[in-house]
């Protein structure tokens, strides 16, 4: 396994980065932490002619709150998500999701933006962000735009980013959700990709579920909003039985495949279990 | 316990500092002037005829210094097992698995090598492949090797006593079937070798478990005298059986070096390690036993099939071991063993920690629990009824001296709280037991020779302040350099802190067969003890001369020579050793060891013989998530009868490491192939070894008999592999206790638990 030849650029501004990507006519790729890209290049799955590194774009490392909500720059690493006091104070469930990823070395290098744009079906951050209604900010040849994160994913490894577009960050809007969490089922305690990942965000009014979003990872080509499952909850008093019912609906909604990590049948049943467990956790423990 | 000064103590590892500071150099770290980098081109097909190889483009690439194929290397077939030499340096007519060796390149740097490999054009005609060992022997199946009809690599039919009569006499007869999977050793250090062939002499630095076997086979392949081949082991980051035999890295590297006149460094990356393999066999195991009313085993019949892969490797021995080790733990008289090891178009399997023993042991320990359930007996009770006694002989003629299996069982029962827990644990929790036994060194070497198994020299350095141990024993991380220095110091009456070591270099150290079959503490230990004692005898005779007393009145401990009767110190080691050198020349002691003649006369009688056997019992407590099948191990209790302990902390590291590997094979590890014979998980992400976070709490204890093991120096026995052996059966039994489900195939994965629970619920409905 050896990296193929490529040209390497580390521009100082976003504009330059976009310019380099545009000029490459689709033969260049962005590199952030490289923990996803380098592996794919070594395996011969990707062979970009040039890499455009974001390492000098310090503006993309920001984490902050403002009128629009919580903003997280795309170059923020997984460990920075975990350790950020701002995230701890707002949505610790995001830190919780990041903490279930990879291992310490990879979390130190891998970035949030890379996790989203890699568009891997089992990626751990998309479910919790989609559950929290996150939007992505991108910049490109046509300027800046912002759209729901759920619209980013087209299929495994495929996103709706236009040629030359760079993900600059994620915005988690202000919201009334009372609890959220992400539960991952991997086959060992560290360094295992998700067999199933389920994020739940709920808005409770007393014992009643006012609103809920359930997002399933690793059981469809893209992270998957289980709309029917969420609907079973609306306006009803939350109980374990209700969560189980939502779990059963989620299981019937998902479209898993069989692969080396688990059969479709197993994944489907795990969706039921983890939908129930994540709902219970979000309802009873808040944003965790 | 006799009192010792140096052994029996947790001395720090002699190479600890070099390793933790990163100073230690492994084969892949070595650099020599003008060194080239080489790599092997491997087959993309499981089975294909080679129609042509065109290396011309690769040869033209700037920086490429040599490109070789089968036309450039000896035709002679090799293998670690002389019973079947079936491998060529490069495939000549056809390739037999995805990863088979086809050609090699040496170039100025790694980048050029990889580019050159891509420029080699090989024309293949794909052939139908044999991937399923269960059908490989059928008529009309493709032939992996023309020389071995019906793809049978090894066929074993052994019968001791009369099993059929035993089953007739039995109160209860039961048959069960189990499957063990292909797993891979996964040493953390990838295989590397630096070869230099100059002036008629071949020198190889390699990450090897046995410089001796490498030297022997390299010499044989290239028609060199053994004295013209030097194999040196630098630091090695684990082997576990996978680095016991020379690979294409040494053979191709040697030829590339001869052609270019330059040192050549060759290496495998992680995926190539998986393809080279030599890991655990996939094994289909059927066991039938007959027991009396008390659960006493009257007879056992083992009927096995093994998937050997494309070549023999050490597989003939693995096949014999699979059956031969079963009678060690239980004292039954009638035993029958049938085995077919078949060729398939998959990577070759070989010896992995515990060699052939762990999977059959898993099968037998599960089977015995099922028999106990049929009889309404407690699992520990049925094992106590059958546990082997000391000073007995197995039906396949292994002589067992010390054996404290009964004490192991009793101690494990007490430590784990078995009696309180069994049947009383909350839902989802269960407790299981299994036992094991292993050789302390193989009774016979891998190829036939009358060489002693181990030899050692101790030279006291001229000023008498230190001594150097020269040994062919091979430290691959397990700590043999440390324990052997402790043993040398003990035998000489010197201190560990004064010891230096030169090891595992065929030119500067005396012969030793190397690190496999848990042999070094006992076998190399004997040689070292004898060498040390020879030093001491000479030292005391010098001291006696200086003091004008009889040497028998003196002894030496921890560097102090004293009068035995009064205990008064008279002289010190250093001054007497220095005087010795001045007056008599170098103070050198030597020792060697060959085991006594062991075993019976039947075919395969040698495999499994050993001067001494270790015994062990493990109890584990598991907690199962009934919805997901996830297995959490709440605790493991391991009790070993491994004889006298030389270094307690290294011993417990061995127990932990072996248990860790056993645990990986129990729950996670399996090399998976697609329907074209390609490995689907040849990386550490999808081939899941447990991590430190997955390690359960382990409580270990040792038991000792009244008499030390007579066959070991100071009474030592093995520990390095023994603790891997019970683990799979122990977990399977604990899972059964927790959930009432019997998993008859390894690994006992979360999904298999989930599926079995689902089926159980459906049945109960
Ligand atoms: C051992 C190991 C374990 C892993 N475990 C997990 C796990 O448990 N869970 C999980 O979800 N992932 C896991 N991963 C995958 C990976 O580490 C993460 O997805 C990580 O967050 C990727 O971030 P990165 O910065 O390294 O991405 P990179 O490799 O730099 O980039 C990934 C992709 O995103 C693109 N990209 C990156 N940033 C931008 C941007 N700002 N704008 C546009 N495109 C961009 C790149 O072009 C590339 O296609 C693991 C990887 C390894 C090697």
Contact B132, B344 (CB under 8 A): yes
> Would you state the pLDDT for residue B576?
98
Residue A80, ligand 1, Cβ within 6 A: no
Residue A251, ligand 1, Cβ within 6 A: no
Chain B residues lying within 8 Å of A122, measured CB to CB: none
Contact B282, B248 (CB under 8 A): no
Q: Record the tokens describing residue A89, joined without a space.
A: 């104070």
Residue nearest to atom 37 of ligand 1 (CA): A114
Q: The dihedral of CA B405, B407, B409, B412: what is its sign? A: negative
Residue A51, ligand 1, Cβ within 6 A: no
CATH number of B16-23+453-593: 3.30.365.10
What are the DSSP calls for A187-220, one per residue? SSSSS---SEEEEEEEEEETTEEEEEEEEEESSS
Sheet architecture: strand order including B454-460? B499-503, B467-471, B454-460, B587-593
Bridge partners for B234 per DSSP: none
Residue A159, ligand 1, Cβ within 6 A: no
Average pLDDT over residues A92-96: 98
Residue A46, ligand 1, Cβ within 6 A: no
For residue range B102-118, list pLDDT tens digits in order.
Answer: 999 999 999 999 999 99
All residues at 6 or more sequence positions from B497 whose CB lies less than 8 Å from its CB, including other chains:
none
> Would you state the pLDDT for residue A67?
86
Nearest to A191 among B110, B271, B691 (CB): B691
E strands, A10-157, where? 28-31, 50-53, 63-66, 69-73, 135-140, 143-148, 153-155
> Would you state the pLDDT for residue B2?
64
For residue range B201-233, list pLDDT tens digits in order.
Answer: 999 999 999 999 999 999 999 999 999 999 999
Residue of A nearest to B41 (CA): A1
Alpha helix (H) ranges present in B510-607? 525-547, 573-584
- B181 in A contact zone (CB under 8 Å): no
What is the rounded average pLDDT for all residues in chain A? Answer: 97
All residues at 6 or more sequence positions from B332 whose CB lies less than 8 Å from its CB, including other chains:
B166, B296, B297, B298, B299, B300, B386, B395
Contact between chains at B686 and A260 (C-beta distance less than 8 A)? yes
Contact between chains at A188 and B690 (C-beta distance less than 8 A)? yes
Contact between chains at A260 and B688 (C-beta distance less than 8 A)? no
Q: Is B687 helix (H, G, I), strand (E, B) or coil?
A: coil
Residue nearest to atom 2 of ligand 1 (CA): A102
Q: What is the dihedral of CA B708, B710, B716, B718, to 10 degrees?
A: -110
The B residues from 589 to 628 touching A (CB cutoff 8 Å) are 627-628
Q: Which domains does chain A have, with CATH numbers?
A: 7-53 (3.30.43.10), 58-172 (3.30.465.10), 179-285 (3.30.390.50)
Q: What percent of chain B has pLDDT above 90? A: 99
Nearest CA of chain A to the CA of B115: how many Å? 9
Q: Is the pLDDT of residue B566 over 90?
A: yes
Residue of B nearest to A1 (CA): B269
Q: Is the pLDDT of residue B335 over 90?
A: yes
Contact between chains at A2 and B691 (C-beta distance less than 8 A)? no
Contact B728, B427 (CB under 8 A): no
For residue range B521-546, list pLDDT tens digits in order.
Answer: 999 999 999 999 999 999 999 999 99
Contact B624, B739 (CB under 8 A): yes
Q: Record the tokens describing residue B415, joined without a space.
A: 């430590």
For residue range A22-56, list pLDDT tens digits in order.
Answer: 999 999 999 999 999 999 999 999 999 999 999 99
Chain B residues lying within 8 Å of A102, measured CB to CB: none
- Pocket residue to mutate for ligand 1, from A94, A99, A106, A130, most atoms within 8 A of Cβ: A106
Contact between chains at A189 and B751 (C-beta distance less than 8 A)? no
Q: Is the pLDDT of residue A103 over 90?
A: yes
From B653, B705, B607, select the one nearest B341 (Cα to Cα).
Answer: B607
Q: Give domain B31-127+188-238+243-276's CATH architecture.
A: Alpha-Beta Complex (3.90)
Chain B residues lying within 8 Å of A1, measured CB to CB: 269, 271
Residue A116, ligand 1, Cβ within 6 A: no
Average pLDDT over residues B585-607: 97
Backbone angles phi, psi at B417, to 5 degrees: 70, 35
Q: Is the pLDDT of residue B1 over 70?
A: no
Sheet architecture: strand order including B94-95? B94-95, B48-54, B121-126
Residue nearest to atom 5 of ligand 1 (CA): A102
Q: What is the dihedral of CA B274, B275, B280, B286, to 10 degrees?
A: 130
CA distance B203 to B201: 7
Residue nearest to atom 47 of ligand 1 (CA): A30
Residue nearest to atom 49 of ligand 1 (CA): A118
Angle value at C-alpha A88, between A85 and A89, nearest 5 degrees? 85
Contact B69, B133 (CB under 8 A): no
Contact between chains at A190 and B271 (C-beta distance less than 8 A)? no
Residue A39, ligand 1, Cβ within 6 A: yes
Nearest to B685 among A1, A191, A262 (CB): A191
Chain A residues lying within 8 Å of B107, measured CB to CB: none
Alpha helix (H) ranges present in B38-77? 56-60
Contact between chains at B688 and A263 (C-beta distance less than 8 A)? no
Chain A residues lying within 8 Å of B680, measured CB to CB: 260
Contact B302, B326 (CB under 8 A): yes
Q: Record the tokens describing residue A131, joined without a space.
A: 């559950």
From A149, A139, A196, A131, select the one nearest A17 (Cα to Cα).
Answer: A139
How many angstroms does the Cα of residue A80 sit away from the middle of ligand 1? 15
CA distance B433 to B730: 5
How many angstroms does the Cα of residue A78 sit away from the middle of ligand 1? 10
Contact between chains at A270 and B628 (C-beta distance less than 8 A)? yes
Spell out a b/e string for B404-433, using b for 16 or more CB atoms within 10 Å of the CB, else e: bbbbbbbbbbebbebeeebeebeeebbbbb
For residue range B353-378, list pLDDT tens digits in order.
Answer: 999 999 999 999 999 999 999 999 99
> Would you state the pLDDT for residue B390?
98
Sheet architecture: strand order including A69-73? A63-66, A69-73, A166-173, A135-140, A143-148
Q: Record the tokens describing residue A146, joined without a space.
A: 């912002």
From B92, B16, B3, B24, select the one nearest B485 (Cα to Cα).
Answer: B16
Q: Record the tokens describing residue B480, joined without a space.
A: 């043999």
All residues at 6 or more sequence positions from A154 whose CB lies less than 8 Å from its CB, including other chains:
A119, A160, A222
Each domain of chain B, given as residue ranges in start order, spans 16-23+453-593, 31-127+188-238+243-276, 357-433+610-764
Contact between chains at B686 and A266 (C-beta distance less than 8 A)? no
Average pLDDT over residues B240-261: 97
Q: Is the pLDDT of residue B83 over 90?
A: no
Q: What's the residue count for chain B? A: 765
For residue range B124-174, list pLDDT tens digits in order.
Answer: 999 999 999 999 999 999 999 999 999 999 999 999 999 999 999 999 999
Average pLDDT over residues B58-81: 97
Residue A37, ligand 1, Cβ within 6 A: yes
All residues at 6 or more sequence positions from B601 whose CB lies less than 8 Å from its CB, including other chains:
none
> Would you state the pLDDT for residue A30?
98
CA distance B489 to B458: 10
What are the DSSP calls for B258-321, one per residue? HHHTS-EEEE--HHHHHHH---BPEEEEEEEEEE-TT--EEEEEEEEEEEEESS-TTHHHHHHH
CA distance B176 to B122: 47
Contact B598, B609 (CB under 8 A): yes
Q: Is A112 helix (H, G, I), strand (E, B) or coil?
A: helix
CATH number of B357-433+610-764: 3.30.365.10
How many angstroms does the Cα of residue A35 sit away from the middle of ligand 1? 5
CA distance B518 to B665: 20
Q: Is the ipTM of this complex over 0.90?
A: yes
Q: Do domains B16-23+453-593 and B31-127+188-238+243-276 have the same CATH topology?
A: no
> Would you state the pLDDT for residue A70?
98
From B382, B434, B364, select the one nearest B174 (Cα to Cα).
Answer: B364
What is the rounded average pLDDT for all residues in chain B? Answer: 97
Nearest CA of chain B to the CA of A243: how many Å? 15
Q: Is B541 helix (H, G, I), strand (E, B) or coil?
A: helix
Contact between chains at B271 and A262 (C-beta distance less than 8 A)? no
Q: The dihedral of CA A189, A191, A193, A198: what is its sign? A: positive
């Amino acid at each position: 396994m050896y990296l193929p030849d490529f040209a390497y650029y580390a521009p100082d501004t976003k504009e330059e980065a976009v310019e380099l990507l545009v000029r490459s006519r689709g033969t260049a790729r962005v590199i952030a932490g490289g923990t996803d890209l380098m592996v794919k290049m070594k395996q011969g799955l990707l062979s970009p002619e040039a890499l455009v590194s974001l390492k000098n774009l310090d503006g993309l490392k920001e984490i902050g709150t403002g009128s629009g909500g919580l903003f997280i720059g795309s170059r923020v690493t997984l460990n920075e998500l975990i350790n950020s006091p701002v995230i701890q104070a707002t949505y610790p469930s995001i830190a919780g999701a990041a903490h279930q990823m990879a291992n310490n070395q990879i979390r130190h290098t891998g970035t949030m933006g890379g996790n989203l744009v890699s568009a891997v079906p089992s990626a751990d951050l998309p479910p919790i962000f989609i559950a929290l209604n996150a939007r992505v900010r991108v910049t490109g040849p046509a300027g800046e735009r912002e759209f729901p994160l759920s619209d980013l994913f087209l299929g495994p490894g495929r996103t709706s980013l236009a040629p030359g577009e760079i993900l600059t960050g994620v915005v988690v809007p202000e919201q009334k959700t009372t609890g959220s969490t992400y539960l991952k089922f991997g086959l060992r305690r560290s360094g295992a990709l998700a067999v199933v990942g389920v994020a739940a965000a709920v808005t409770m009014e007393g014992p009643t579920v006012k609103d809920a979003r359930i997002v399933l990872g690793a059981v469809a080509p893209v992270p998957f909003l289980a709309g029917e499952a969420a609907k079973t909850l609306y306006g009803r008093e939350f109980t374990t039985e209700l969560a189980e019912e939502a779990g059963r609906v989620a299981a019937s909604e998902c479209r898993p495949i069989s692969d080396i990590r688990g059969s479709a049948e197993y994944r489907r049943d795990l969706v039921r279990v983890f939908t129930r467990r994540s709902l219970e956790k979000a309802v009873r423990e808040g944003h965790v | 316990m006799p009192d010792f000064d140096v052994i029996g103590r947790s001395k720090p590892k002699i190479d600890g500092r070099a390793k933790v500071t990163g100073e230690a150099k492994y084969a892949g770290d070595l650099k020599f002037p003008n060194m080239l980098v080489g790599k092997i081109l491997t087959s993309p097909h499981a089975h294909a005829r080679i129609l042509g190889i065109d290396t011309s483009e690769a040869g033209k690439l700037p920086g490429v210094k040599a490109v070789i194929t089968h036309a450039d290397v000896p035709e002679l077939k090799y293998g670690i097992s002389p019973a079947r030499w079936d491998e060529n340096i490069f495939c000549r007519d056809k390739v037999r698995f995805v990863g088979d060796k086809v050609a090699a390149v040496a170039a100025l740097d790694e980048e050029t090598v990889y580019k050159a490999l891509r420029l080699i054009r090989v024309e293949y005609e794909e052939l139908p492949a044999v991937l399923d060992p269960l059908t490989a022997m059928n008529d009309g199946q493709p032939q992996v090797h023309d020389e071995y009809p019906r793809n049978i690599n090894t066929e074993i039919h052994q019968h001791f006593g009369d099993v059929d009569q035993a089953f007739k006499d039995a109160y209860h007869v039961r048959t069960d079937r189990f499957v063990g999977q292909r797993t891979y050793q996964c040493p953390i250090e990838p295989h590397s070798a630096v070869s230099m062939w100059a002036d008629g002499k071949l020198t190889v630095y390699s990450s090897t478990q046995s410089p001796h076997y490498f030297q022997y086979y390299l010499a044989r392949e290239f028609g060199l005298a053994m004295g013209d081949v030097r194999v040196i082991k630098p630091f090695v980051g684990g082997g576990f059986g996978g680095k016991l035999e020379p690979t294409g890295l040494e053979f191709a590297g040697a030829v590339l070096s001869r052609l270019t006149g330059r040192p050549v460094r060759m290496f495998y990356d992680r995926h190539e390690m998986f393809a080279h393999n030599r890991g655990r066999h996939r094994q289909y195991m059927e066991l039938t036993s007959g027991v009396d009313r008390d659960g006493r085993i009257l007879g056992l019949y083992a009927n096995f099939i093994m998937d050997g892969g494309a070549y023999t490797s050490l597989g003939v021995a693995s096949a014999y071991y699979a059956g031969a080790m079963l009678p060690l733990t239980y004292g039954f008289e009638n035993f029958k063993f049938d085995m077919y090891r078949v060729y398939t178009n998959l990577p070759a399997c070989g010896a992995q920690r515990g060699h052939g023993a762990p999977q059959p042991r898993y099968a037998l320990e599960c089977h015995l629990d099922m028999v106990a359930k049929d009889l309404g007996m407690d699992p520990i009770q049925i094992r106590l009824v059958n546990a082997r006694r000391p000073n007995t002989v197995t039906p396949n003629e292994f002589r067992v001296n010390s054996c404290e299996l009964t004490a192991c069982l009793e101690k494990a029962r007490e430590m784990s709280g078995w009696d309180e827990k069994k049947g009383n644990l909350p839902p989802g929790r269960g407790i299981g037991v299994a036992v094991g036994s292993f050789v302390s060194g193989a009774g016979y070497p891998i190829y036939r020779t009358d060489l002693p198994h181990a030899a050692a020299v101790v030279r006291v350095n001229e000023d008498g302040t230190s001594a150097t141990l020269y040994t062919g024993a091979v430290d691959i991380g397990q700590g043999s350099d440390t324990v052997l220095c402790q043993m040398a110091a003990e035998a000489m009456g010197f201190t560990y802190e004064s010891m230096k070591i030169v090891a595992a270099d065929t030119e500067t150290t005396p012969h030793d067969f190397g690190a496999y079959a848990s042999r070094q503490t006992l076998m190399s230990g004997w040689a070292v003890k004898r060498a040390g004692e020879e030093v001491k005898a000479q030292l005391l005779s010098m001291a006696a001369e200086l003091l004008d007393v009889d040497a028998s009145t003196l002894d030496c401990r921890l560097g102090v020579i004293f009068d035995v009767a009064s205990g008064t110190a008279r002289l010190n080691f250093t001054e007497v050793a220095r005087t010795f050198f001045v007056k008599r020349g170098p103070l050198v002691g030597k020792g060697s060891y060959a085991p006594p003649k062991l075993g019976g006369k039947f075919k395969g009688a040698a495999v499994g013989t050993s001067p001494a056997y270790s015994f062990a019992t493990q109890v584990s407590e598991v907690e199962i998530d009934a919805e997901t099948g996830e297995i959490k191990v709440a605790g493991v209790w391991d009790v070993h009868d491994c004889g006298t302990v030389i270094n307690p902390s290294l011993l417990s590291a061995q127990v932990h490491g072996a248990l860790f590997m056993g645990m990986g094979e129990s729950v996670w590890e399996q090399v998976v192939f697609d329907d074209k014979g390609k490995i689907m998980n040849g990386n550490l992400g999808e081939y899941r070894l447990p991590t430190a976070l997955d390690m359960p709490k382990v409580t270990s204890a040792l038991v000792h008999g009244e008499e030390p093991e007579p066959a070991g120096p100071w009474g030592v026995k093995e520990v390095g592999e023994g603790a891997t052996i019970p683990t799979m059966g122990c977990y399977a039994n604990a899972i059964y206790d927790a959930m009432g489900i019997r998993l008859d195939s390894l690994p006992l994965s979360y999904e298999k638990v989930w599926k079995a629970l689902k089926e159980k619920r459906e049945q109960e409905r």
